[in-house]
Chain A
Amino acid sequence: MKELEQLMFRLCKAPGISGGERLAAKVVAAELSDIAKVKIDRMGSLTAEFGNPKAKEHVLLDAHLDQIGLVVTGIDENGFLKVGRCGGMDARVLPGSAVTVYGKETLCGVVCCTPPHLQEGGEDQVPPVDKMSVDIGLPHDEVEKVVFPGDRILFHTQPKRLLGTRVSAAGLDDRAGVAAFIRCAQILSGEKLSCRVTILCSVQEEVGGAGAKTGAFSAEPTQAIATDVSFASQPGVRPVNIGKLGGGPMIGIAPVLNRKMTDRLIALAKEKKLPFTREVMGGDTGTNSDDIATSRGGVMTGLVSIPLRYMHTPAEVIDLKDVENTAQLIAAYLREVG
């Protein structure tokens, strides 16, 4: 678990806001280049291929590389940065947060928190993100030299070890999925597989899934498994049809997901005595699996999610055991394909 923790922290420390995933891709490439054929595609997504290149069955493993953040939309006359959401940023976690602005140089900033007596609604209201500002402590003219509209902003936070095998970091959604696939490739390296496997670390999931759409088209797989994070039980959330930290991978059941693959994943989890839960979704899954399943003429697709608390905050929490068990489950599945 120590090694997995270090891998997770390396992945989470690399910035990769939607549309700006280059540094995160570089870190993933370094992890996989010894055990797979790594490429970066035109959109910025990373692919890593291993297994039997001539096999008939080609399994695509998708985890998204990007994470939510902010994007600079303008600079006001006093030098404060106006910002927009890059993905589903939760306004409630922003006020007073330390952030990193990836401008011409890397800058430390603070999300403005107007004193309550000067703000309509006082402490009760949280303004929408497009009404918030980021303060880097510089006057307008100096800001213009180092920050441009379009620059990305991330929370300034370091991954933290919690008790047991639990960790917290910004961007575990979905670096946890990326880590599971890296682990899976490590487990299978040196083994002879009867299928071809492509790991796709896709860009821009948080803003519409462009990386998965184009990546799945290019890879042209015969089947696919997406791994994202999903809701784990936590205070304030009704404990119905959600996962649990340490409860193992959440195997998705939804109309768009291939039932045979889902059944096989469940059977394998039982055979290997891996903990798991079922996650049932009536409509779409809200993950890349929706786009991958409908790529080209259609792709049989499964979804295996890692339970996570406090999604889309800088304080996301997972249990590393769930990542390891996800990797073990997918490795077991891949051994059987072809």
Chain B
Amino acid sequence: MSRFELLRELCEAHGISGREDAVRNIILREIEPLADSVQVTPLGNIIAFQKGKKRPKTSLMLDAHMDEVGLIITDFTEEGFLRFSTVGGIDRRILPGKTVWIEGKLSGVIGVKPIHLLERDEREKSVPLKDLFIDIGAETREEAEKLVAPGDAVIFDSVFDLSHGKIKSKALDDRAGCALLIELMRDGLAYDTTFVFSVQEEVGLNGAKTAGYAVHPQAAIAVECTTAADVAGVERGRDVCRVGEGPVVSFMDRRTLYDREYYQLAFEAAKAAGVKCQPKRAVAGGNDAGAISTSCGGVRMASVSLPCRYLHAPVGIISQDDYEEAKKLLAVLAERIAETDTI
């Protein structure tokens, strides 16, 4: 069994925003024996409390989100094709020609007009969403309606590959974060800690917003995957962060201004632990931190992410080393935050 069997199981589970049940069940199975208390909130977040050896001076919450981006069925055509919307931020260039699963049981494909029948100016244009359909092989609307209903969840068919020290899979954002939290619980942190596995991050941070209220910690760390733009055609200096250069610590993104001291503390902690770590070198994206930091009377916020290429595509890439380094960094940073007084 590989080192990443848990991550594989989490990534392969189907769980678009609002439909995180399969992911939640895996996580509950894993953490129930480890936690001192486990609670599932009305929106579906898991809030798990685990006692450490010591009582913290600053109460700390770690957060990772369970949901992934995907599609949702909206309607049918008379010929039996399915119309859909995106759930979460999906670049529409990645949709044509993909194989999908509907409600985990029915295969479908997103077809496009054959290249032979395209006008010249259509060849280098991405296909507008309104021209994309899912084909499940139904011959009529009635046949499709017997098996599929509006609101059904759609997930990309993908791979899980561990060769050459990388991990290639769908939904690494943020099942990798979930796996990290579970592994930290297995190892046990020094201080009492609350672990949150949140829902609906990709559609507006709804899970984190309500979990932040329910837990009302003094400090929190969002454990995420973030866009690594170190891909072909992007010059250094615009690549945000790089796969293989360690976990990513944010000072600011589109949702959050991170706690300045914690930002610096993360680099100190990394140095002390002998762990590689890089700043997120762009003000871009946003994650659960945005909702957690402003919950209740305010929460001091840090974010530790895995650099991930092709974040919302059917297959992303992270580095196994980055994963291991992130786990070490999180353990040390959590301890440093918990052992320090705060207001």
A residues near B (Cβ < 8 Å) are 76, 78, 80, 88-93, 95-98, 107-108, 110, 112-119, 123-128, 131, 133, 135-138, 142, 155-158, 160-164, 166-168, 231, 234-237, 245-246, 286, 309-315, 317
Contacts and interface: CB of A to CB of B under 8 A. Distances in A.
B331 to A, nearest CB: 26
Contacts, number: 212
A280 B20 CA distance: 51
A114 B116 CA distance: 26
A160 B93 CA distance: 23
Nearest to A163: B137
Contacts of A155: 97
Contacts of A80: 231-232
B114 A126 contact: no
Interface in B63-106: 77, 79, 81, 91-94, 96-99, 106
B157 interface: yes
B313 interface: yes
Contacts of B238: 118
B39 to A, nearest CB: 37
Given A138-B166, A236-B131, A314-B99, 4 more contacts: A92-B96, A127-B124, A163-B136, A163-B137
A309 B159 contact: no
A300 B92 CA distance: 47
Contact of B232 (A112, A156, A164): A112
The 6 lowest CB-CB distance pairs between A and B, nearest first, are: A162-B137, A93-B97, A96-B94, A96-B313, A166-B137, A315-B109
Contacts of B284: 117
A310 B131 CA distance: 13
B96 A118 contact: no
A112 B93 CA distance: 11
B222 to A, nearest CB: 20
A282 B12 CA distance: 49
A313 B137 contact: no
A313 B111 contact: yes
Contacts of A112: 231-233, 310
24 contacts: A90-B114, A91-B123, A93-B97, A96-B94, A98-B168, A113-B93, A113-B94, A114-B234, A116-B91, A126-B124, A133-B233, A135-B231, A135-B310, A136-B164, A137-B317, A138-B166, A160-B157, A163-B139, A235-B81, A310-B112, A310-B135, A311-B114, A312-B114, A314-B99
Given A92-B126, A119-B233, A166-B137, A110 B107 contact: no
B246 interface: no
B74 to A, nearest CB: 15
A131 to B, nearest CB: 8
Interface string B117-128: 100000111110
Contact of B115 (A136, A167, A312, A317): A312
B36 to A, nearest CB: 39
Interface string B160-174: 010110101000000
Contact of A90 (B112, B137, B139): B112
A126 B137 contact: no
A315 B113 contact: no
Chief secondary structure at chain A's binding surface: loop
B203 interface: no
Choose among B117, B143, B164, B319 the residue with the greatest number of A CB atoms under 10 Å from its CB: B164
A117 B283 CA distance: 12
B168 A118 contact: no
Contact of B91 (A96, A164, A237, A313): A96
Contacts of A124: 125-126
Interface in B140-178: 143, 147, 157-159, 161, 163-164, 166, 168
B218 interface: no
A234 B152 CA distance: 23
B112 A93 contact: yes
A91 B120 CA distance: 13
Nearest to A108: B161
Contacts of A92: 93, 96-97, 112, 115, 123, 125-127
A138 B117 contact: no
B115 A88 contact: yes
Contacts of A119: 233
Contacts of B229: 114-115, 118
Contacts of A76: 232
A169 B110 CA distance: 12
A315 B99 contact: yes
A311 B116 CA distance: 8
Nearest to A161: B107
A135 B232 contact: yes
B111 A309 contact: yes
A9 to B, nearest CB: 13
Choose among A163, A168, A317 the residue with the greatest number of B CB atoms under 10 Å from its CB: A163
B309 interface: yes
Given A118-B229, A123-B93, A317 B135 contact: yes
A110 to B, nearest CB: 5
A113 B164 contact: no
A161 B137 CA distance: 9
B227 interface: yes
B212 interface: no
A127 B233 CA distance: 11
Contacts of B249: none
A84 B43 CA distance: 48
Contact of B310 (A113, A131, A314): A113
